[in-house]
Chains A and B, each alone.
Chain A
Amino acid sequence: MIQQATSVPLLEVRGLSKAFPGVQALDAVDFEAHRGEVVALLGENGAGKSTLMKILSGAYRPDTGRILMDGAPIDPENPHHARELGISIIYQEFNLTRNQAVWTNIFLGREVLPHGPLRAVNFADRRAMRAKASELLKRVGARFSPDAIVRNLSVAEQQMVEIAKALSDDAQVIIMDEPTSALGTEEVAILFGIIRSLKEQNLTVIFISHRLEEVFRIADRIVVLRDGKRIGSLPVREATIDKVVSLMVGRVLDRQAVHRTGAAVSRDPQVICEVRHLTRKGALEDISFQLRRGEILGVAGLIGSGRTELARAIFGADPIDSGEIRIDGRPVALASPSHAVRAGLALIPENRQQQGLVLIHTVRSNIALPNLGVLSRGGVVRERAVHKLVGRYIDKLRIRTPGPLQRVMNLSGGNQQKVVLAKWLATNPKVLIMDEPTRGIDVGAKAEIYAIMNDLVQEGVGIIMISSEMPEVLAMSDRILTMREGRMTGLLERSEATQEKIMALLSYDHTQRFQPKDTE
């Protein structure tokens, strides 16, 4: 029940469910938003936030459940239809054509036609559109001209264009998916100004965010989802950060799927990799840590926290501005991945299809690729050595493939990930960086990957594991480094780490913890 409902909610969702193969993304979710209300939708990755937003905006169709607008049932069939119904969504990735003017973007697909004979030939009324655009831009407080080219605008300004675009549809509900993730502090303040003025214009704003202190600054009400269910809905006045965090996590770990064996206790004191004051402007700031032999260092952070940037910087894929990396105590200059590979590093990248594999090539070629040095003599590849190596790793990692000559694109996600692992394990790395090692793969393959990680640490490999899955981080790591906005916010021992502690370190700024006021 809604606490202080005095009127019919503008938007009302009842018993909405949606399943994808293997996942119940939404399970009988109720949700409501009133006119002039700002609702924050919170939850961990995979909680169902995006699915709910996508159903409201017509990108997905629900399996069951009803959506009501002003008390009347609606059924958004596609994004265009949802817009006509008055629901607009602004995604994290903007939908703007970068090389065109602001006004063209605002009216893209719904060009204004003039009266008179020109209407018949679809002649676009530029003057009317520009005038309307400049009016809409005024409403969102934009100070650039409707003729400005989108690519010359800052991220915050592009967001204004998106909001103006939504307003041009006469949107009553504007959904924003992580609107602040790409913004700086000042830009966030501007955005919040816009949201407040939308609220005054009696519009409803629903937004998804991972930054709790921002939620407390702008939202009227907080709705928490977890595992596809609505766990709570409470006015901001009654909420505290601790309460919200416990609602968000509150899950018991599936200890059978994930567990860490061996070395965690009898830790080797030898430091194999040390990062000192690593800084990359705009992405990473003063990151320092040590990785020991046979240790798994978990790196936890939300999207945009700099966790992937950290992996890429250590591996030499992105240039660093300052700082030092030492391998076995010696400083190394890792100007490119080829240097990093020679120094004994390996990176399992975040996106295996785009960054880890040559999909159109065979299992064999993919595994051979970073190992051609040892597999060749005088520049000529020793086919027999390749054959032996590839066969060994197919067996060792139990890669399910009809044979080494199968194209990687025909394998399942889990087996593709094992091919990526195989190609790097064959290089005998000292330090293995794994960025989201189990993303998008099934439970069975996950368990196998954890088993491989356990074996590796037994052999003395040091693993840096970046993950957004809390149970994985907690179960596999010996120590946990938390990141937020490019900075380290903590380095926890396994024994002291809890979901709540980590979530708190990821989600909000300690310095603001007890002063959720709008002062920047």
Chain B
Amino acid sequence: MTTTAKPAAVKHPTGWFRFLRAQELGIILILAVMCVFLSLSTKTFLTSTNIFNVMRAFSWIAIAAFGEILVIIIAGIDLSVGSTMALAGLAAGFAYRADQPMAVGLLAGILTGAAVGLVNGLIVTKGRLPAFIATLGTLSIGRGLCYGLTNGQPLTEFPDSFRTLGQYDLPVLGLAIPLPAIYMVILALIMGFFLARTVWGYRIYALGGNEQATALSGINIGRLKLLVFTLSGLLAGIAGVVMTARLGVASPTAANGYELDVIAAVFIGGASTSGGEGTIFGALMGAAIMQVLRNGLVLLGFPAYWQSAAIGLVIVVTLMLDQYRKRRGG
């Protein structure tokens, strides 16, 4: 060993400290500024009730974003996650209508999501369609199934045990932490580990960075793409089930357009449109920023009809800053 650098002094970019990249620091800063500003300018923002409400409100967006980001890292996109969330909720609803035990309903929802993801993956790998087109199709098919299977009527026969999963607040040190927020944090840890520390994670980044070089490195990229799309569907399924448990009703119109929030969260979180970059932590922060912004606009009395425009503006400005940073070679 003649290295000049001591092993201990070297940081691992793909390890736990990966989130300390400049990009994530930037997002944390934006989020912090927003929170400080809202804490000072409103009386209600900095209350545990409000904070947890915000966390609960973006939990399913964040969970779906943990799957979406995998697809975006491989330079694809999954437009079907909103439909998949609704479909997963309905699958659980149908299971409970058939008097199945709670676990079966959960599983039905989650596996439905995984199945949609698998189909997306097959269309992309075997059907050789671009991800945008493939998932644009399944977005529509999924929503059509929601309406068709329910005749447009929402399902409401959910057992209390199921509702509890979405509505209960866990008392910890005098705080009441909503269960969906806890699921979100646990899934963030699992997916963060998956992406940063496992062989699959390494390969997913490589695939997005250069597909040809990855294939020539002896990696079965078809199978890897199937895995990525399936995981995206699976996480959208979990998100759908959590959302349904919280709302206590599975509506065929649920999660309509949520794919756009999910995708925005991933990009605000620093993922690159050309693939190969992005982190779970970033996606989590991206989802948080969007919900804090929504919440803040409400608390500040910003006209409700204008909120969408404000959020759009934030997305564009954040990404322009990111482009600027990249050109500077950051």
Contacts and interface: CB of A to CB of B under 8 A. Distances in A.
B218 A338 contact: yes
Given A368-B202, A372-B199, 17 more contacts: A317-B215, A337-B218, A338-B219, A347-B216, A356-B216, A358-B210, A358-B276, A360-B277, A361-B206, A364-B13, A369-B214, A373-B199, A381-B14, A381-B201, A383-B15, A383-B197, A387-B10
Interface stretch (B1-9, B44-52, B311-319): B1-9
27 contacts: A337-B216, A337-B219, A341-B218, A354-B210, A354-B212, A355-B216, A356-B213, A358-B205, A358-B210, A358-B213, A360-B209, A361-B206, A370-B218, A370-B219, A373-B199, A379-B198, A380-B198, A381-B14, A383-B12, A387-B7, A387-B12, A391-B1, A391-B5, A395-B2, A403-B10, A404-B10, A405-B10
Given A360-B276, A365-B202, A391-B1, A381 B197 contact: yes
Contacts of A388: 7
Contacts of A405: 10-11, 13
B15 to A, nearest CB: 6
A369 B219 CA distance: 9
A395 B276 CA distance: 27
Of all A-B residue pairs in the complex, the 8 with the closest CB atoms, nearest first, are A341-B218, A358-B209, A370-B217, A358-B210, A338-B218, A372-B199, A337-B218, A376-B199
A370 B2 CA distance: 25
Contacts of B199: 372-373, 376, 379-381
Given A336-B220, A379-B198, A365 B14 contact: yes
Nearest to A347: B216
Contacts of A359: 209-210
Contact of A369 (B198, B201, B217): B217
Contacts of A368: 202
B209 A372 contact: no
Contacts of B7: 384, 387-388, 391
Contacts of B220: 336, 338
Contacts of A403: 5, 10
Interface string B4-37: 0101001111110000000000000000000000
B203 interface: yes
Interface of B: 1-3, 5, 7, 10-15, 197-203, 205-206, 209-210, 212-220, 276-277
Contacts of B214: 358, 369
Contacts of B15: 383
Contacts of A383: 12, 14-15, 197
Contacts, number: 105
For chain A, which range describes its interface: under 10, 10 to 19, 20 to 34, or 35 or more residues? Answer: 35 or more
A53 interface: no
Contacts of A340: 218
Q: Which one of B14, B215, B217 has the greatest number of beta carbons of chain A within 10 Å?
A: B217
Given A360-B276, A361-B209, A381-B197, A369 B202 contact: yes
A379 B200 contact: yes
Contacts of B203: 369, 372
A404 B209 CA distance: 17
A357 B211 CA distance: 10
Q: Which one of A317, A337, A354, A358 has the greatest number of beta carbons of chain B within 10 Å?
A: A358
A395 B7 CA distance: 14
B200 to A, nearest CB: 7
Contacts of B5: 391, 403
B223 to A, nearest CB: 9
Interface in A328-378: 336-338, 340-342, 347, 349, 354-362, 364-365, 368-370, 372-373, 376
A423 interface: yes
Contacts of A369: 202-203, 206, 214, 217, 219
B282 to A, nearest CB: 16
B89 to A, nearest CB: 31
Contacts of A342: 218
Contacts of B198: 376, 379-381
A282 B38 CA distance: 68
A338 B199 CA distance: 15
A365 B205 contact: yes
A365 B206 contact: yes
B202 A372 contact: yes
B3 A395 contact: yes
A464 to B, nearest CB: 15
Contacts of B13: 362, 364, 405
B24 to A, nearest CB: 16
B247 to A, nearest CB: 36
A508 B203 CA distance: 45
Contacts of A362: 13
Contacts of B212: 354-355
Nearest to B215: A337
A449 to B, nearest CB: 19
Contacts of A317: 215-216
Contact of A361 (B215, B216, B219, B276): B276
A113 to B, nearest CB: 38
A371 to B, nearest CB: 9
